[in-house]
Amino acid sequence: MSRLIIPAGLALLALLSFGQSVVAGVAGDCDFVFPWITHNDRFSADLVFNNLGAEATSVQLIAVRADGNSEQAEIFIESLEQQVYAADALFPSLGSGSGYSVYATTARTSDHIEAAFVVTGRDSCSQSSPAQANVVKPSAAANLLLFKYMPQLNGGTAAPVIVNTGDQTATVTVHGYQYNGKVGTNNILIGANQPYAATIQSLFPGTREDLYLVVQSDQPVVGLSFAFNELGEPAMADAVPLTVLPDGGNDDGDNNGLTGWDAILAKFTDNVQAFVDGNTVVIRTDGVPNHGSPYFGAGDSRYLQPHSGMHVNPNRIGEQNLEFEVPTNPAVAATGSETRLGPIGVALNGVPFFNQYAGRTAAGWEALDNEILSFDIYNGHPAGNDMYHYHFEPVFLTEGDKAALIGVMMDGFPVYGPQDPDGSLPNNLDECNGHTHATAEFPEGIYHYHATTEFPYLNGCFRGESGTVSQ
C-alpha cells in the first residue's frame, strides 16, 4: 500500500489549516478513518488507539472538516499500550463546531495499531451518554453504501455521515426508502477527503417514518449512521458496502404511492422549498446546481475544469432568490403561448429553465448558437446576473434514467428527459414539445414536455397558462 509521509513543519500545517482541499490522496492512502469526530456543546468524542505490535510507534493524524479546514496531530504509543485522547486535545485549533473526519497513518507498514472512538451526548439527562464505533479502513470504501436503519419515530432523529475517501469531488446520490418503498433521492457534492453529514429531516423533509438509505457515489466513500433518541443520546453503526442497487434499478420509475404534486415535491433537492397553497404550488430556490461546474470558479470545491472546446463566459454561479408560483391543475389550451426570456420553469435541483433563445431584439428572437459554446458538461451556464440556468436537457438529472422527471414549467406541466417510459423517443410532440400519456408521477395521464436534442430543446411554448416568478 502506498503511504502518505507527512513532514512535520509549519508550512504544511498552514496549508492544511487554510487550504480548501487537503493534500490529494490523504484519505485514500491512510491506514484508517475515524468517519465523524465531534467536539461542541452537544457532543464530545474520544479517540482510542491500541498498539498490538512489538514496537513503539507514532501515528500521524489529519482531521478534515466539511468546509475543508483541517489540522494535523501526531501521537506516540508504546508496544501493547492503549491511549485515549479527547478530540479537542488532539485538534485544538479546529475548536468546536460540526464534526470532522480523522485520517490516521502509522509510521511503518509493520505497525499494528487498532483504533475506535466514542461519541458522548452532553445535553441528555445524564450529560454523558456514550456510543462506540470502530474506525474504517479506506480499502473498505465503496461506490455504493447501505445505511440500514435511520429511525425517526418517537421523537428521535438520525443522520448519515458520508466520507469521500477519493481525490476528486464526489457526486453522490442518496436514495431514501421507508416501510413501503422508495421515498426519493437527493443529490449532493462532497469535496475530496471531506465528510458530509445531514439529518434525515434535511435530506428528506416530508418523511416522518424510519428510513433506510442507499448512497451511490462516483468516488469511493465510507459511511457511518447516527441514531439519536428524543434526549439526543447517540448510537452509531457502520454503513456497509453494496454491490448492486436495490431491486437492480438505477432510479425510481416508481414513486411508492406518491402521485401528482406529492411525487414531484418529494423529488426537489434540499435547496428548494416547495409547497402546495390552494391551486398554486410555491417553489423557492437558490438556483445553485448540485453538480460541479467551471462557473463555480477555481478554488471552489465544486469547480470543474472546462471541457475541451468550452468557451467559459465571464459570469459565475451566484445564489438567487427565485420564487415561482405555478398552477397545480393546468388546463391544456387549444394553442401554445410564447415563453419569455429569463426563468420559464425550474429543474428538480432548483436550477431555472430558460427558453430556446439567447435574447430578443427589434428584429425578433436570437438563436442560441453562440451561447451553446459556453454550456458546461451539464448543459448549464450563468447569465450576467450570475443566474445559472439550463436551455437544454439537464443531463446531470437524466444520467440514470433518460425518461425521468426533470422539473416543471411555469404553466404547471411537468418536463421529462428525452425518452418516454418504454425507452422510445417521443414522436408525436406538438409545437410546445409536449404530448399526453401516463407517467410515473401521473398514472392517470398528463400533458407533459420532453427535453429534445433538436430545437426547441425543452418546451417551445406554454401549452397552459403560465404562473409567475419573482427574483
Q: Which is nearer to Zn ion, 111 or 411 (CB)?
A: 411
Answer for the pair 386, 420: CB distance below 8 angstroms, yes or no: no
Q: Which stretch binds Zn ion (CB under 5 A): 122-130, 149-157, 320-328, 412-420?
A: 412-420
Query: Shortest approach of Zn ion to residue 321 CB, angstroms?
Result: 19
- CB nearer Zn ion, residue 23 or residue 403: 403
Beta carbon of residue 249, minimum distance to Zn ion (angstroms, whole number) = 20
Q: Does 238 bind Zn ion (CB under 5 A)?
A: no
Of 233 and 420, nearer to Zn ion (C-beta) is: 420
Nearest distance, CB of residue 65 and Zn ion, angstroms: 35
User: Scanning the structure block, which residue is given the C-alpha cell 470532522?
Assistant: 100
Q: Which stretch binds Zn ion (CB under 5 A): 71-79, 149-157, 192-200, 418-426?
A: 418-426
Name which of residues 198 to 227 contact Zn ion (CB under 5 A): none
Candidates 37-45, 99-107, 182-190, 413-421: pick the segment binding Zn ion (CB under 5 A): 413-421
Other Cβ atoms within 10 Å of 340 Cβ, number: 15
Main-chain dihedrals φ then ψ at residue 201, nearest 5 degrees: -65, -35
Specify whether the CB–CB gap between 186 and 174 falls below 8 A: yes
Give the residue from 148, 170, 132 showing the smallest Cα distance to 214.
148
How far out from the chain centre does Cα 202 lie? 12
In the complex with Zn ion, which residue's Cβ is closer, 104 or 346? 346
Q: Which of 456, 188, 184, 431 is nearest to 344 (CA)?
A: 456
Q: Show the cell assigned to 395.
A: 443531463
Angle at 103 between CA 100 and CA 109, to 5 degrees: 170
Q: Which is nearer to Zn ion, 336 or 426 (CB)?
A: 426
Q: CB nearer to Zn ion: give 46 or 411.
A: 411
Give CA–CA dist 172/187, Å, rounded: 6
Q: Give the nearest distance from C-beta 351 to Zn ion in angstroms.
A: 11
Output 330 or 426, the one with its CB closest to Zn ion.
426
Q: Report the run of H or E that residue 11 belongs to, with start and end.
A: helix 10-18
SS3 155: helix
17/259 with CB nearer Zn ion: 259
Alpha-carbon distance of 187 to 202, in angstroms, equals 12
Judged by CB under 5 A, the stretch of 152-160, 175-183, 226-234, 424-432 that binds Zn ion is 424-432
Q: Strand 414-416 and strand 388-390: pairing? A: unpaired
Contacts with Zn ion in 364-403 (CB under 5 A)?
none
Residue burial 256-275, b: 16+ Cβ < 10 Å; e: rest: bebebbebbbbbbbbbbebe
Half-sphere exposure of 293 toward its Cβ, with a 13 Å CA cutoff? 28
CB under 5 A: which stretch of 172-180, 246-254, 340-348, 416-424 binds Zn ion? 416-424
101-109, 213-221, 328-336, 414-422 -> range binding Zn ion (CB under 5 A): 414-422
Shortest separation between residue 88's beta carbon and Zn ion, angstroms: 48
Binding span for Zn ion by CB under 5 A among 45-53, 301-309, 318-326, 419-427: 419-427
The answer to whether residue 426 forms part of the interface with Zn ion (CB under 5 A) is: yes
| Nearest distance in Å: CB 301, Zn ion | 25
- Residue among 167, 233, 399, 420 that touches Zn ion (CB under 5 A): 420
Q: Which residue number has the CB closest to Zn ion? A: 420
Question: By CB under 5 A, how many residues form the interface with Zn ion?
Answer: 2
Among 240-248, 262-270, 316-324, 421-429, the segment contacting Zn ion (CB under 5 A): 421-429
Angle at 135 between CA 132 and CA 137, to 5 degrees: 160
Instruction: Enter the C-alpha cell of residue 464.
Output: 397552459
DSSP, collapsed to helix, strand or coil, labels residue 289 as coil
Q: Output 106 or 459, the one with its CB closest to Zn ion.
A: 459
Give the contact letters, 436-465, x = binds to Zn ion (CB under 5 A), - = no: ------------------------------
Beta carbon nearer to Zn ion, 195 or 426: 426
Q: Other C-beta atoms within 10 Å of 148: how many?
A: 11
d(CA 338, CA 460) in angstroms, rounded, equals 8
CB of 176 to Zn ion, least distance (A): 26
Nearer to Zn ion, 118 or 358 (CB): 358
Smallest distance from the beta carbon of 435 to Zn ion, in angstroms?
A: 6
- Residue 150, beta-bridge partner list: 211
Contact 295, 376 (CB under 8 A): yes
Cis peptide leading into residue 289 (ω within 30°): no
Does residue 425 contact residue 305 with C-beta atoms inside 8 Å? no
Of 252 and 420, which CB lies nearer to Zn ion in the complex structure?
420
Q: Which amino acid, one-letter code, is at 11?
A: A
| Smallest gap from residue 44 Cβ to Zn ion (A) | 49
Give the binding site for Zn ion (CB under 5 A). 420, 426
